């Protein structure tokens, strides 16, 4: 989870990164790496969720179409 204080610190460092210390740059890189991993994990989970929703929808749609075919 992203800490608001850390986010603000990162924004401050990024705005003036040319004059910041190596320690600050490492802090930003670590923050971004963690955020990247969290975002990537979330996207993968959401992708799997979307796939499941699509499969369920298609199954239900097929059943509905079979039931409502003109005989």
Q: Are 27 and 12 in contact (CB under 8 A)?
A: no
Domain boundaries, the chain: 4-68
* pLDDT mean for each 10 residues of the chain (71 residues): 89 97 98 96 98 98 93 60
Please report the pLDDT score of residue 3 as a whole number. Answer: 86
- Cβ-Cβ contacts under 8 Å for 14 (sequence gap 6 or more): 28
Q: What is the maximum span of the chain, computed from C-alpha positions, in angstroms?
A: 77
Is the pTM higher than 0.85? The answer reads: no
Q: Residue 24: which of 10, 38, 44 has the closest Cα?
A: 10
Q: Are 10 and 28 in contact (CB under 8 A)?
A: yes
Q: What is the CA radius of gyration of the chain?
A: 23
């Amino acid at each position: 989870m992203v800490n608001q204080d850390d986010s603000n610190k990162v924004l401050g460092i990024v705005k003036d990164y040319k004059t910041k210390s190596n320690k600050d740059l490492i802090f930003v890189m670590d923050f971004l790496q963690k955020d990247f991993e969290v975002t990537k994990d979330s996207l993968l989970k959401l992708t799997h969720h979307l796939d499941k929703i699509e499969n369920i929808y298609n199954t239900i749609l097929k059943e509905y179409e079979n039931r409502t075919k003109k005989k």
